[in-house]
Structure formats: C-alpha cells, structure tokens
Amino acid sequence: MSIREGQLVLRDGSVFEGELIGAVSAGGVSSGEVVFHTGLTGYQEVMSDPSYAGQIVTFTTPHIGNYGTTPLDNEATKVHARGVIVREEARRESNWRSDLSLDSYLTKMGVSGIAGIDTRRLTRILRDTGAMPGAFGSADHATLLAAAESEAGTSGVQLVEQVTTKSAYVVGSGHYKVVAYDFGIKSTILRCLSEIATVTVVPASTSADEVSALAPHGVFLSNGPGDPEAVVGAPVHIRSLVDSGMPVFGICLGHQLLTLALGGSTFKLPFGHHGANHPVRNLRTGSVEITSQNHNFCVDANSLSGIADITHTNLNDLTNEGMSVRDARAFSVQYHPEAGPGPHDSRYLFNEFRQLMEAK
C-alpha cells in the first residue's frame, strides 16, 4: 500500500505531519473538535460511540489496531467520530475475534484517520489550552487551517438530532418496562438494561405525555454528544416525568439534562473527560470506582444546592459525577456505568435503578 501523506492543523496554527489511513474524505479534509482519549483498549467502541459526534479522537495509547475490529464491538451501526488520530497503526491485527484491520474498518465505515502523529505533543497542547477545532487530510496547509478556523466545535451545537433514532423500537424481554430516551444511546447500555427490563427506545424529542402513555416502570436518560443546553425541549419533558413520580435514571448527557430540568446549570470543561480510567468517589459508601467517561460538559454542583444531594465526585478535578434528586425518584451519574469499554465497577447502578422501580 502506498503512503498517503497528510497533515493535521489545529485552529491555533499547530501543524503535525503524518500518514492518512481509512477512507479518503471529500476534498481531502476531515474537521471537528479535537479531543484525547486515555483508554488502553476499546478503540472500536470509542469510535462508534454516538457521544463522539462532532469530534476527532486522539488516542494517547501509542499502538492502535493491535487486535483488529469485529462487528460485535460496535456501539452503533456507524462510526460517529469525525476522524481518528493515532501515533502508530498496528501493522497486523492479532485476535481470533478480528474481522477487519483498523484501516479496513475505517474505510468500510467511510471515516478518515491520520497516523504517525506525535500524540504526546498533541495531548499536551490540548491539555494546556483546551480541546480545540482542527482539520486533517491531504489538502494544503491553508485549506486545512481554514477548515479548522471555520469548524463550529461543540459549544452551542445541537448534535443529538444527528444521532438519535428516527422512530421507537423495542429490545429485550425483562420483567420491567423501561422507556429509554435516545440522546446517543450505546449498544452496551441496551444490553445492560435488557437484563432487567423490556426497553422501548424513543427519539430525543419524545414528549412526557407520549412516554407516560407507554406506562413504563421507569425512564432512562442516555448518553449523547454536544452541549446539553442545545438540546431544546428535553429538560421540560424530563421535569414533567420527575414531577409525576416516575423513576428516572440518567447517565452522561442524561445527567446534564436532568440537571437542567431541575433548574441547575452546566459548563464546558477545558478538555473534557475521555477515558476508561477516571477515579470517582462514591460519597455514600466512601469507595472509589474506576469509571469510563466521555463528555465535554459538566454539571455545576453548586447550582443543585437544596435540589439534589451530590453522590459522586471526580477525584482528578473534583467535578460533579452524580446526584440523587430530593423528594423525587430520580438519580444520575456523569460517567458510563455500562463501561463499553472500561471496568465494570459501576454496573451496580443498573441494579439500583431496578430497586427504584420495585419500590412502592
């Protein structure tokens, strides 16, 4: 295979030279908000996670593609990341489950990547100055810089409408009936919920009345991409469901939307939390969970004073990671308890949701 030379250019003018992998993008340019992910494994789950819509993912692990890819590891039917950046693409994949190499997988999914990048230098830039728009491809420097400068990023951008289901569908056959709002839901989440419930997945714009008409035992608010304040309408419907006494469990974007529904506020983190190794303290038990996270925005814990009890805190930066709503049957966490990929320390939360639905 011939080498396809390319460049990555950030909005601040930083330039990185590398080799293009995967599909050839139209016009030789792929743009998005550049973030870094610190997980050692799970690159396929990360790329196909709808929460990465609008973003280009930099993997800090030097070798990516070692164990190939398999359809069984997809978190969605397509790759939602705008592109991927790696230090070195593995020359050959070695795993009995592997169906395609990383390069072939990206090509099949119509997504571009760039390898040979000094990801350590890139990560330091993003850590020091914050996540920023960038562009990579075979185009000249001026074209790539212009693409980076014109990229909208994720602040104030409604990305949920790009990833949510167009119509409702049902998965699982568990004892309880759960309605899951699809703000960018992952396959692993549905597998976890299916162990306890028959799950009706509904579009993000579904009203509280439409949900109530399904007579569920509980409502799940999924993960998803972008700015929670751009998801117009969802907080109103969520507030109505909480006020009705419906058991509600939210994660990631669902945690942020529940906060907005209660009158709280959110803000954007400098470079977000993206990885499968974030330590979180459970304030109720004192135990520490190693969690899987993917979010650029965060809940302002002070805005929940008198409204909710803080249940979890991030030990890296002390930001909010969970809450339990006072005088309501609702709770949420900022991280991914299904952990696809990542450790399973937090899967007990699905059981807590089941217990909440059992309670009279």
Q: Check which CATH number belongs to the domain holding 270 and give it.
A: 3.40.50.880
Give the end of a domain, one of 127, 150, 173: 150
Q: Dihedral (C-alpha) 349, 351, 356, 360: value to the nearest 10 degrees?
A: -170
User: So what's the pLDDT on residue 2?
Assistant: 67
Whether residues 179 and 258 share a domain: the answer is yes
Give the end of a domain, one of 116, 150, 184: 150
Confirm whether 17 is a catalytic residue: no
Whether residues 191 and 320 share a domain: the answer is yes
Nearest CA among 46, 34, 226, 12 for reference residue 114: 34
Structural domain count of the chain: 2
What 3-state class would DSSP assign to 331? strand
User: So what's the pLDDT on residue 225?
Assistant: 97
Confirm whether 252 is a catalytic residue: yes
Which parts of 140-275 fold into alpha helices (H)? 141-150, 160-163, 187-194, 208-213, 234-243, 253-261
User: So what's the pLDDT on residue 24?
Assistant: 78
**Strand (E) or helix (H) holding 358:** helix 348-358
User: So what's the pLDDT on residue 360?
Assistant: 64
Question: Lowest-confidence range among 4-13, 21-30, 81-90, 109-118?
Answer: 21-30
**pLDDT tens across 103-158, in order?**
999 999 999 999 999 999 999 999 999 999 999 999 999 999 999 999 999 999 99
Whether residues 209 and 130 share a domain: the answer is no
> The domain that contains 44 carries what CATH number?
3.50.30.20
**Annotated catalytic residue within 37, 192, 252, 255:** 252
Whether residues 138 and 218 share a domain: the answer is no
Which parts of 208-337 fold into alpha helices (H)? 208-213, 234-243, 253-261
User: So what's the pLDDT on residue 26?
Assistant: 60
In a domain, 306, yes or no: yes
Token match 């470079």: residue? 271
User: So what's the pLDDT on residue 28?
Assistant: 82
pLDDT at 45 over 80: yes
pTM of the model: 0.96
Q: Domain range for residue 14? A: 5-150
Whether residues 104 and 183 share a domain: the answer is no
Nearest CA among 160, 110, 152, 123 for reference residue 135: 152
Confirm whether 338 is a catalytic residue: yes
- Name the percent of the chain lying above pLDDT 70: 98
The span from the CA of 209 to the CA of 216, in Å, is 12
The span from the CA of 298 to the CA of 22, in Å, is 32
**pLDDT tens across 147-172, in order?**
999 999 999 999 999 999 999 999 99
In a domain, 343, yes or no: yes
Is 13 buried (19+), middle (13-18) or exposed (0-12) by CB count in 10 A?
A: exposed
pLDDT at 8 over 70: yes
In a domain, 155, yes or no: no
Is the bond preceding 50 in cis, omega lying within 30 degrees of 0? no
User: So what's the pLDDT on residue 340?
Assistant: 87
The one-letter amino acid at 102? L
**pLDDT tens across 180-201, in order?**
999 999 999 999 999 999 999 9
Whether residues 167 and 314 share a domain: the answer is yes
CB–CB of 312/333 below 8 Å? yes
The span from the CA of 280 to the CA of 273, in Å, is 12
Q: Left, alpha or beta for 66 (phi > 0: left; psi -120 to 50: alpha)?
A: alpha
Confidence of residue 1 (pLDDT cuts 50, 70, 90): low
Whether residues 349 and 221 share a domain: the answer is yes
Confidence of residue 87 (pLDDT cuts 50, 70, 90): very high
* Average pLDDT over the chain, rounded to an integer: 95
**Annotated catalytic residue within 151, 229, 289, 338:** 338
The span from the CA of 196 to the CA of 96, in Å, is 31
Give the end of a domain, one of 150, 184, 212: 150
